[in-house]
Structure 1
């Protein structure tokens, strides 16, 4: 081992490497662990070597001469020597920093696969795509709260609703929490408390006149499967996926029940059907009952995937507000039942609200009163006793 103080003069006037030797290395006598190395063909690189608390040798590269100066190398080596003396492990800390995943690798490799079987997986992918577009190349410890603030402002300026922006932020916060829980990241969560943007009241309701206008518009909609799926949403107050993914094996015409094997809460839910809803389903069964799904999609063996086009056409034809969304049919249905004096417990059972779990057994048995409750909306809108607007099977 050759010992010599590492100086600019030594580096510039490196002794000739003897024939047969691949490299020469000099160790600095003043800064223990600092060395300089030259290889055949030229070029000097610097290293710092130390032993960690478990007496394992660790080496940290300090760069090549020309990229760094000798003075910079010596100052860096002194700082590392002091850190080691204080019980730190600079090499382990460097490895830990390098192991921190990027936002893209965390979302694509960890978060999305773990959420793939959960409801809302499509929304999760959409949130992840927007996050990756903005921050995908950053490592988790590089994203700052100020970056998230600017990102949220940009989404609002791009026309996204405050509620949508809040969902993106919540998804990002959840992703960081998963990284921390699984030991992929040990820092703070930059999305921990950015504050929720104020959300407008999306619980819009249709009047009786508007409901009848919507039914007439759906009667003229060329996509009959989509039109009847929307009508069933109106008549049951069900969630969109509960209708679009319904299977004939889950429809009980005798008990007036549509069973949702896995609702939003993750539990089985039984939707009581009013006579118009049953009639609509009977007509649909006559037309498409040979398949597995109540509302078949374009792909063989798959359910309908989107109601957007039919909904937009019917909404415009009915003269409904541009911001009236499909999910608000559920609010319209619930508000009608409330206005007719039904109890919140009964309505919760009809709609499948899990927080009133004591009422769930009534929905399972579909007692006459719940069927009557489910019928009130159609009765109010003058859609009893028939539902000819759905379509003619002839």
Structure 2
């Protein structure tokens, strides 16, 4: 069904009683909006096999932005029509990042963009050698960890270029990361955790300190807490949709009394808003804020992910069954996996609430000593 898509016409589209109906735009060929019984999603059709790609849901994604994404996506896919077209490295990076914007989370895209533009390479993509790439990584990145991240980012990029037939082979395909990663085992002891939590609670209203406090209390991932929306905060739970979690699984997290009290404090006035309406403005300056926190507390170096490991360790100390801890952490692999994961649909929400209550009591006693 073809029609001229406008903001008003999209708004007036009615949901079908069953199935799906797609309305194709008369202005932008291949672009349309698919209406189901519960939602409306912008789509684009591409390729000889007339494949469909979902661009985003209405009204979270505006018509103008969806149309722009559709044009960019079709322009990217059109490059498959000319597989031998030569690109300069910088130009192909821009095409790649536009493609990434359509399918990757913001944090991932930000990391890719950082390293692809930080490591300076130039010239025809097919003429760049393995040696040039490795020398550029060593020259433009400082720490072993950032060299590893840059290497992985470029390896993924060159794989994409091969898939799009801009290259015949990936110059980094046979190589591993420059530096062997060491698995981290840092767990904060009670005294360290008490000192850290007292410090962050004493500085309520500072966004980074509030993030750290919630990480200690909930054990969730950094990005999930940093990008928290008020719509995800219910009375005594956090509810994350599948597009907000690392493993693409919806996740419900019970909250202890301290986390609830902190969120009420954050929401208590304009001065103490967590970001702007929680996360309208992405948090930046992680490394600088982390270094300042370590310096001001006098603690030995730790990462924010160590707080998640500490949360899991303390749950074990409190006697929480491992499968309940994994539910709290939203882990896919673990004690409930394979066939058991398929047939076991129990949410364990009551068990999770009990575990969170025990952890909340543990933190209360810790702060009181």
* TM-score, normalization by structure 1: 0.61
**Is the contact made by 1:244 and 1:295 (CA closer than 8 Å) also made in structure 2?**
no
Establish whether residue 103 from structure 1 lines up as the match of residue 89 from structure 2.
Answer: yes
Match of 2:136 among 151, 164, 185: 151
Which residue pairs with 1:249 in the alignment?
A: 231
Q: C-alpha offsets along residues 182-206 of structure 1, whole Å, 9 cap, x if unaligned? A: 2222x22101022222112334221
CA-CA distance at 1:237 after TM superposition? 1.1
Q: What is the count of residue pairs matched by the alignment?
A: 276
Which residue pairs with 1:209 in the alignment?
A: 191
**Is the contact made by 1:235 and 1:276 (CA closer than 8 Å) also made in structure 2?**
yes
**Is the contact made by 1:217 and 1:314 (CA closer than 8 Å) also made in structure 2?**
no
| Distance 1:204-1:374 versus aligned 2 partners, 3 A rule | same
More off after superposition, 270-279 vs 352-361: 352-361
> Higher relative contact order by CA 8 Å / sep ≥ 6: 1 or 2?
1
| Distance 1:215-1:121 versus aligned 2 partners, 3 A rule | same
CA distance in structure 1 between the partners assigned to 2:109 and 2:329 by the alignment = 22
| Distance 1:317-1:300 versus aligned 2 partners, 3 A rule | closer
Match of 1:181 among 145, 163, 185: 163
**Is the contact made by 1:349 and 1:362 (CA closer than 8 Å) also made in structure 2?**
no
Match of 2:180 among 198, 203, 225: 198
More off after superposition, 219-228 vs 273-282: 219-228
CA distance in structure 2 between the partners assigned to 1:118 and 1:364 by the alignment = 30
Match of 2:245 among 244, 256, 263: 263
CA distance in structure 1 between the partners assigned to 2:270 and 2:345 by the alignment = 27
CA RMSD of aligned residues (A): 3.3
1:1-394 to 2 correspondences below 5 Å: 99-109=85-95, 111-116=96-101, 117-119=103-105, 120-131=108-119, 133=120, 135=121, 137-154=122-139, 158-162=141-145, 164-185=146-167, 187-196=168-177, 197-221=179-203, 223-253=205-235, 256-261=236-241, 262-287=244-269, 295-297=274-276, 302-303=280-281, 305-306=283-284, 308=286, 310-321=289-300, 323-356=301-334, 365=347, 367-383=349-365
SS of the residue aligned with 1:286?
A: coil
| Distance 1:362-1:206 versus aligned 2 partners, 3 A rule | farther
CA distance in structure 1 between the partners assigned to 2:124 and 2:322 by the alignment = 48
CA distance in structure 2 between the partners assigned to 1:361 and 1:283 by the alignment = 41
SS of the residue aligned with 1:104?
A: helix
CA-CA distance at 1:307 after TM superposition? 6.3
SS of the residue aligned with 2:284?
A: coil
**Long gaps (5+) in structure 1:** 1-94, 389-394
More off after superposition, 208-217 vs 196-205: 196-205
Q: C-alpha offsets along residues 332-390 of structure 1, whole Å, 9 cap, x if unaligned? A: 21222233343332222111123356679999956221122234444334457xx89xx
**Is the contact made by 1:363 and 1:370 (CA closer than 8 Å) also made in structure 2?**
no
CA distance in structure 2 between the partners assigned to 1:165 and 1:233 by the alignment = 27
CA distance in structure 1 between the partners assigned to 2:309 and 2:252 by the alignment = 18
CA distance in structure 2 between the partners assigned to 1:222 and 1:320 by the alignment = 19
**Is the contact made by 1:242 and 1:263 (CA closer than 8 Å) also made in structure 2?**
yes
* TM-score, normalization by structure 2: 0.65
**Is the contact made by 1:257 and 1:366 (CA closer than 8 Å) also made in structure 2?**
no
**Is the contact made by 2:239 and 2:253 (CA closer than 8 Å) also made in structure 1?**
yes
CA distance in structure 1 between the partners assigned to 2:170 and 2:359 by the alignment = 46
**Is the contact made by 1:273 and 1:374 (CA closer than 8 Å) also made in structure 2?**
yes
CA distance in structure 2 between the partners assigned to 1:343 and 1:240 by the alignment = 24
**Long gaps (5+) in structure 2:** 1-81
Structure with the greater alpha carbon radius of gyration: 1
**Is the contact made by 2:255 and 2:356 (CA closer than 8 Å) also made in structure 1?**
yes
Which residue pairs with 1:7 in the alignment?
A: none
**Is the contact made by 2:251 and 2:330 (CA closer than 8 Å) also made in structure 1?**
yes
